[in-house]
A and B are shown apart, each in its own frame.
Chain A
């Protein structure tokens, strides 16, 4: 108690408020927004890579139909918490035959990934 009485009165109250707003709010929120953006981007990349892989694997199986692609898209959208219809998947060639190399390309909002597998000869 005696010590605090001897100390000079603090004269930096205004400065503390500015420092709190600048470093405590602006910088931290900026980093948080940056991190959220980056992680959301990585999530989309993982979603398209996983979908392309699933697409290629399904296409390499005999008896592929349009229902299988719809099922992959539905499952992957559910797994990654994406809105239905946002995720797209295309196969090349559309109706692969034995020995073909099939390429599956998945995309969301311009971010795409492709995977390739060979249909058993």
Chain B
């Protein structure tokens, strides 16, 4: 007991333990900040791709309706069929859409389109983390509405 009290009352010790502990803490804090910013950036990118695709498909609906006014025999556009091709067009030459994959695309009513686009999380692909932290996929949903002629 006496020895313990004597040990607690002295302030001698190695500063290196404190220094290493502080350095590890600051490094961990840095990595958390950088990783969260990375995830935020990717979320923004996926949202932009989903927005662009939904607007593009809604415009396609309107264009198809206009064409069908001229030629009533023209078939209705199939959004589920057109969506992957439109996403490919958007992905060519776009840094944010390049690794996107289409989860779902459907027409809601006569005038609306709903899409879900996903990307593999950049954080989960890091060799050290390897899916240990954060989501494996980042997805975004977008819906666009158009005005049909007539």
Contact = CB atoms under 8 A, between A and B. Distances in A.
B13 to A, nearest CB: 9
A121 interface: yes
Report the interface size class on chain A.
35 or more
Contacts of A12: 12
A121 B45 CA distance: 24
Contacts of B95: 49, 52, 112-115
A108 interface: no
Interface residues of B, number: 41
A4 B9 contact: yes
Interface stretch (A20-28, A70-78, A81-89): A20-28
A113 B14 contact: no
- Interface class of chain B by DSSP: helix
Contact of A19 (B14, B55, B91): B14
A112 B96 CA distance: 11
B33 A35 contact: yes
Interface string B23-61: 100110010011001100100110010001001100110
Contacts, number: 113
Contacts of A42: 34, 37-38, 41
Contacts of B33: 35, 39
B85 interface: no
A59 B31 CA distance: 37
A28 B23 contact: yes
Interface string B94-126: 111100000000000000000000000000000
A116 B93 contact: yes
Contacts of B30: 31, 34-35, 38
Interface of B: 5-6, 9-10, 12, 14-16, 18-20, 22-23, 26-27, 30, 33-34, 37-38, 41, 44-45, 48, 52, 55-56, 59-60, 62-63, 86, 89-97
